[in-house]
């Protein structure tokens, strides 16, 4: 039997709870991140209206003609802002690109902040002012939820509750709106073409809206695929490689993928919106000494978040 512990946790019990509720949340998320690397979260601060409007905007964006979208595909940005077209991202170790197109929004930093010059400006969709406005609001709300989750994780790790704050303040996080496009003729595809090939996320944690649509699966410790499904507006949260490195593998960056639907449903699109919570590039990802002992020898080389991101963007074909 596979050990698949994906608890459904109420973030409000951490943010506004009493000491016992906060401790319970932190224990529960820590345990799940140690076993399976995934939880689902309720009361994350995004209303149903906001999520519905987000999806409305995302569908409108991807329905724009390809020549309009490609005007927002900006060379030199490694897909980190604006549009990335079909066939551009290939999961590490795969030959055939994923069956998706996406749009990425990054951090908004006020003038005068030292990281201002590190980040490219966001790309605005001229045709859809509401897309720009709604995605900015979603970015900020998911960032706030993510910061609270990192506080609970810090406590689980025996660190100061505010350990992550200075690293994620003005961090290099990305909101990705994703379209897995419909395929009219599945026979035209290479045999191994999938919506999203098996991969691990690069960042600290990922908050995903939209796993209510089928397709997302995680790889269990027994090497079997297990479907991840969220209720309604719940947000799925998983550990990324940066947090796994920092904790010497105590928190698991679990491999996941998005499978193709049955053949007769291949013509239907799927949309999803992950928020990849990144620290600033100068965060040291060297494993915490408390996570290294005789039973758990050091697994990873010492790197900063910026060095690690650069290496990974090259591996997935976004950076040349
Ligand atoms: O579309 C999904 O459900 C998951 C997307 C994902 O894993 C990713 O973009 O890293
Ligand atoms: Fe992912």
pLDDT tens digit sequence for 271-315: 999 999 999 999 999 999 999 999 999 999 999 999 999 999 888
Closest ligand to residue 195's CA: 1
Distance 201 CA to ligand 2 centre (A): 5
* pLDDT value at residue 113: 87
Q: How far apart are the C-alpha atoms of 262 and 160, rounded to whole Å?
A: 47
Closest ligand to residue 100's CA: 1
Q: How far apart are the C-alpha atoms of 257 and 88, rounded to whole Å?
A: 17
Query: Which ligand 1 atom lies nearest to the CA of residue 228?
Result: 3
Domains and CATH numbers, the chain: 8-316 (2.60.120.330)
Parallel, antiparallel, or unpaired for β 225-227 and 256-258? unpaired
Higher-confidence residue: 318 or 272? 272
Closest ligand to residue 199's CA: 2
pLDDT tens digit sequence for 103-143: 999 999 988 888 888 999 999 999 999 999 999 999 999 99
To test ligand 1's pocket by mutation, which of 213, 256, 273, 315 has the most ligand atoms within 8 angstroms of CB?
256
Q: How far apart are the C-alpha atoms of 208 and 213, rounded to whole Å?
A: 12
Question: Which residue in 304, 271, 316, 257 sits closest to 100, CA to CA?
Answer: 271
pLDDT tens digit sequence for 141-180: 999 999 999 999 999 999 999 999 999 999 999 999 999 9
Q: In the predicted model, what is the mean pLDDT of the chain?
A: 94
Question: Which residue in 199, 223, 4, 181 sits closest to 85, CA to CA?
Answer: 181
Q: Rounded to 5 degrees, what angle do the CA atoms 228, 231, 232 make?
A: 130
* pLDDT value at residue 4: 87
pLDDT above 70 (res 2): no
Q: How confident is the model at residue 268 (pLDDT cuts 50, 70, 90)?
A: very high
To test ligand 1's pocket by mutation, which of 241, 258, 260 has the most ligand atoms within 8 angstroms of CB?
258
Distance 200 CA to ligand 2 centre (A): 6
- Closest residue CA from atom 10 of ligand 1: 201
Q: Who lines ligand 1 at CB under 6 A? A: 176, 178, 196, 201, 208, 211, 216, 256, 258, 272, 274
Query: Which ligand 1 atom lies nearest to the CA of residue 201?
Result: 10
Q: How confident is the model at residue 234 (pLDDT cuts 50, 70, 90)?
A: very high
ipTM for the complex shown: 0.99
């Amino acid at each position: 039997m596979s050990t698949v512990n994906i608890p459904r946790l109420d973030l409000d019990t951490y943010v506004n709870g009493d000491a016992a509720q906060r401790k319970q949340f932190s224990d529960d998320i820590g345990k799940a991140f140690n076993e399976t690397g995934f939880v689902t979260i309720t009361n994350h601060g995004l209303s149903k209206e906001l999520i519905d409007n987000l999806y409305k905007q995302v569908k409108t964006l991807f329905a724009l003609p390809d020549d309009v979208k490609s005007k927002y595909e900006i060379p030199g940005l490694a897909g980190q802002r604006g549009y990335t077209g079909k066939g551009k991202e290939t999961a590490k170790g795969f030959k055939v690109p994923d069956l998706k197109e996406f749009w990425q929004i990054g951090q908004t930093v006020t003038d005068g902040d030292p990281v201002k010059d590190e980040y490219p400006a966001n790309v605005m969709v001229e045709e859809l002012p509401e897309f720009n406005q709604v995605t900015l609001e979603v970015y900020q709300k998911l960032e706030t939820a993510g910061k609270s989750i990192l506080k609970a994780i810090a406590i689980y790790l025996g660190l100061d509750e505010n350990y992550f704050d200075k690293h994620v303040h003005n961090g290099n996080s990305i909101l990705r709106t994703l379209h897995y496009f419909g395929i009219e003729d599945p026979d035209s595809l290479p045999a191994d073409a999938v919506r999203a090939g098996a991969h691990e996320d690069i960042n600290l944690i990922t908050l995903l809206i939209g796993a209510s649509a089928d397709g997302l699966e995680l790889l269990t410790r027994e090497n079997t695929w297990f479907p991840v499904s969220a209720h309604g507006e719940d947000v799925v949260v998983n550990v990324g490689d940066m947090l796994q490195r920092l904790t010497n593998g105590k928190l698991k960056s679990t491999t996941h993928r998005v499978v193709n639907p049955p053949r007769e449903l291949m013509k239907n699109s799927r949309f999803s919106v992950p928020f990849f919570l990144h620290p600033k590039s100068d965060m040291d990802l060297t494993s915490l000494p408390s996570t290294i002992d005789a039973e758990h020898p050091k697994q990873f080389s010492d790197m900063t978040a910026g060095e690690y991101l650069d290496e990974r963007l090259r591996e997935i074909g976004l950076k040349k």
